[in-house]
Amino acid sequence: MNGIFHEAGFWVAVSFVLFFVFFGRKVWAPITTILDSRAARIREELDEAARLRREAEQMLEDATREREQALVEAKSMIEQSRLHAAQAAEKARAEAEAAVKRHEQMARDRINAVERAAIKEVRQAAIDVAVEASRGVIADSLTAKNASALIDGAIAGLPAALAARRAA
């Protein structure tokens, strides 16, 4: 009898089945508990990873929004700086033009003062020359008798000249 009952593989299979029949529940329960706890832990880790991903996406959106705001603010600051620079340049140009006009007016005033002084000097020189010439002419042409008559006429006309001067 060399049948199936004499083979070792058969008895191994039978013992394997019997082992699971008697001890299967006792062994199966801890294995399923371990597998269930591991599945729960993996599920928690996946949930945590999903939550972290959502937070990272939110942080990326916030960072992108802040970057865009910073760009807008930077552009605004640049535009304001350009405006201030243009205003400062315009103000400096206006101040420079005003300074040039003041210097031109001061130069004109100096030139006019020098002209007036020169005219006054020329007049004074002309008066001096005229007085000298008159002295020479008068000294040559005036006699003592004519001089006395001129002095008497001047003294007689003095009250009228003073009255005219007071009236003016």
- pLDDT, tens digit (0-9, with 9 covering 90-100), for 98-136: 999 999 999 999 999 999 999 999 989 888 888 888 888
pLDDT at 25: 75
CB-CB contact of 19 with 13 (8 Å): no
Whether 157 is in a domain gets the answer no
DSSP class of residue 168 equals -
**Choice between 143 and 129, residue whose per-residue pLDDT is larger:** 129
Kindly report the average pLDDT of the chain as a whole number: 88
| 153 domain residue, yes or no | no
Q: How long a stretch of residues is the chain?
A: 168
* Burial degree of 54 (CB within 10 A; 0-12, 13-18, 19+): exposed
Q: Token pair of 88, please?
A: 């400062």
Domain count, the chain: 1
pTM for the full model? 0.41
Count Cβ atoms below 10 Å from residue 24 Cβ, excluding itself: 13
Is 37 within the bounds of a domain? yes
Residue 54: which domain range? Answer: 4-142
155 lies in a domain? no
Q: Which residue has the higher pLDDT, 84 or 137?
A: 84
- Res 2: pLDDT: 63
Structure tokens, 59 = 């942080």
Ramachandran bin of 142, using left for φ above 0, alpha for ψ from -120 to 50, beta for the remaining angles: beta
Please state the rounded mean pLDDT for residues 140-164: 82
Model confidence at 67: pLDDT above 60: yes
